[in-house]
A and B are shown apart, each in its own frame.
Chain A
Amino acid sequence: MSTKTLKYETSSAKSLVRDIMERSGQNLLACYQCRRCAAGCPVGEETGVTPDRLIRMVLLGEREEALNNLLVWQCVACYTCGTRCPNNIQTARITETLKQMSKEAHLEPLKPRIADFHTSFMKATEHVGRFNEIEGMGTYEAKTAIKELRKGDLQAVIDEMMGQAKLGMKMMKKKRMHFKVDKVKNISEVKALYRKAKQGKGA
């Protein structure tokens, strides 16, 4: 959390709140900071940001911090906060929205692996319509390895590869690896939905 004095700019705060409310479908203005969400958040302690704090940041117009803090990336979308919120605010929808806004603003995610995983998952799904574990994991591992090598962090790449190899061997031994690629026959329909998403004609 920031310790600097907060500057409150009414107009920019208003536009940020409006934007997030519209995209997430959540009424942030209903939050009265009871912190029931904070009590149930499984990652609040480690991220240092609980759902109530995140909402407060947005309401105060702290754009940069709201778009890129650990809760935005490490929220596991367990929906505990929203289920317990007396005002029915689903903060996991807010973190989902903030992740998308952060990407649109070309911010470097605080947790690049998490961002890369979801992008790789969607790429793999777009390709054949179903998520094939080997293809999806391969794309993801390659993506993160390139980034880490660029940063000169060879050790991180080695650790990751060793860990994945160990799990892979275990799965092979138990016949849990599947090499057959599962495909959607009518892939043009799936691709049409992806196209529509890219044109921004959707939700």
Chain B
Amino acid sequence: MTMEMAYYPGCSLHASSELYDIQCKMVFRNLGIELKEIDDWNCCGATAAAKTDDFLAIALPARNLGIADATGLSEIVIPCSSCYSRTLVSQKRLSCDPELKDSINAELGQKIEGKIKVSNILEVLRTKVDSGELSEKAKKKLEGLRAACYYGCLLTRFPCDVDVTDDVENPQGMEIVCKVLGVETVDWGYKTDCCGASGSVNDAEQSQLLMSRIFKDAVARGANCFVATCPLCQFNLDAYQDEVGKKFGIQQRLPVYFITELIGLSMGFDPIQMQVDRHLTNAMPLIKELKLI
């Protein structure tokens, strides 16, 4: 049975991380969820809004929440960690501040009601693990992959009290999904450390130092790939790995897979259709070598 779920891709899934958008739709459809992209959404403001304007940091995601509430659907899934965090924080803030909510609603055609459930991608995937639907659809065991599951900051840490859906210091959502796919996971120390986020552009020295720690620990623990859910974390580890590796004397280069790529491979999807060949740290050789495609 197919159910409909509201979907907020955010700016990066419409641009450099379009592959993640494609993969999310493919994987969710096969799991019986039709993603309905909400109409005419705007940028959530990401970290830039929080750093420059407290009102916009709440108001920008609020407009999307109004649109999402108007769909009448009960749940919205947001794969990008930053978009997810900003939207969830906005919803929470508005639930405690009716005056601010009214002030924002006054500008909106579709008013915020605050009733739609805001979910991250792992939350939804875990329901499909629990129901057995994931193991039913993801048949191929991806043997030989030893993944360092990388969560980054914004899936489990928030600037205010919200319901956190996983363990804050040692989240397990990705490990649980990986287990179903036959992907081995490593225990490591940097799964929730920061990759530097937009620092990769505006503060290269610092973000590269942060990334070097992540790469070093993953290699030391014997991982042969990363798995991520956040498009910015994925992009940073993917795009800057070679540069950081050279600078910090790290020989190994590990592909950085989106969780949807691993699920898709296990479901038997074509890696080219999923655009696995578009990674900036080549992600094809490892899965070929392990005869997973």
**What residues make up the interface of A, taking CB atoms closer than 8 Å to B?**
23, 25, 42-43, 46, 74, 76-80, 82-83, 88, 90, 92-93, 96-97, 99-100, 103, 111, 113-114, 116-119, 121-122, 125, 129-133, 137, 140, 163, 167, 170-171, 174-178, 182, 184-186, 189-190, 192-194, 196-197, 200-203
Q: Which of A23, A82, A118, A178 contacts B14 (CB 8 A)?
A: A178
Given A76-B197, A80-B157, A122-B49, also A174-B280 (CB < 8 A): yes
**Residue among A43, A78, A90 with the highest chain B CB neighbour number at 10 A:** A78
17 contacts between A and B (CB under 8 A): A76-B197, A79-B157, A82-B157, A83-B157, A90-B159, A96-B51, A96-B54, A117-B198, A122-B52, A125-B43, A130-B11, A131-B46, A190-B63, A196-B104, A196-B107, A202-B58, A203-B54
Whether B170 is near chain A, meaning CB under 8 Å from some CB there, is no
Given A82-B157, A189-B109, also A130-B56 (CB < 8 A): no
Which B residues from 11 to 26 make CB contacts under 8 A with A? 11-12, 14-16, 18
Whether B264 is near chain A, meaning CB under 8 Å from some CB there, is no
Which B residues from 255 to 282 make CB contacts under 8 A with A? 275, 277-280
**What residues make up the interface of B, taking CB atoms closer than 8 Å to A?**
11-12, 14-16, 18, 40-43, 45-60, 63, 100, 103-104, 107-109, 153-154, 156-161, 168, 192-194, 196-199, 201-204, 206-207, 209-210, 239, 275, 277-280
- Given A74-B206, A121-B198, A171-B16, 16 more A-B residue pairs with CB atoms under 8 Å apart are A42-B194, A76-B196, A83-B156, A118-B47, A122-B53, A125-B48, A130-B14, A171-B239, A182-B11, A184-B41, A193-B107, A196-B55, A197-B55, A200-B55, A203-B55, A203-B58
**Are B43's CB and A76's CB within 8 A?**
no
**Residue among B15, B46, B277 with the highest chain A CB neighbour number at 10 A:** B15
**Are B239's CB and A167's CB within 8 A?**
yes
Given A193-B63, A196-B59, also A130-B280 (CB < 8 A): no
Q: What separation, in Å, do the CA atoms of A189 and B62 have in the docked complex? A: 12
**Are B158's CB and A186's CB within 8 A?**
no
Nearest-CB distance from A169 to chain B (Å)? 11
Nearest-CB distance from B195 to chain A (Å)? 9
In the complex, what residues of B have CB within 8 A of residue A119's CB?
A: 48, 52
**Are A82's CB and B159's CB within 8 A?**
yes
**Are B40's CB and A122's CB within 8 A?**
no
Q: What separation, in Å, do the CA atoms of A142 and B117 have in the docked complex? A: 40
Q: What separation, in Å, do the CA atoms of A92 and B107 have in the docked complex? A: 29
**Are B42's CB and A96's CB within 8 A?**
no
Q: What separation, in Å, do the CA atoms of A97 and B50 have in the docked complex? A: 9
Q: What separation, in Å, do the CA atoms of A176 and B239 have in the docked complex? A: 11
* A-B CB proximity, top 7 nearest: A202-B55, A79-B157, A121-B48, A117-B202, A78-B194, A203-B54, A118-B48
In the complex, what residues of B have CB within 8 A of residue A82's CB?
A: 157, 159
Nearest-CB distance from B89 to chain A (Å)? 11
Given A79-B153, A113-B202, A122-B56, also A130-B194 (CB < 8 A): no
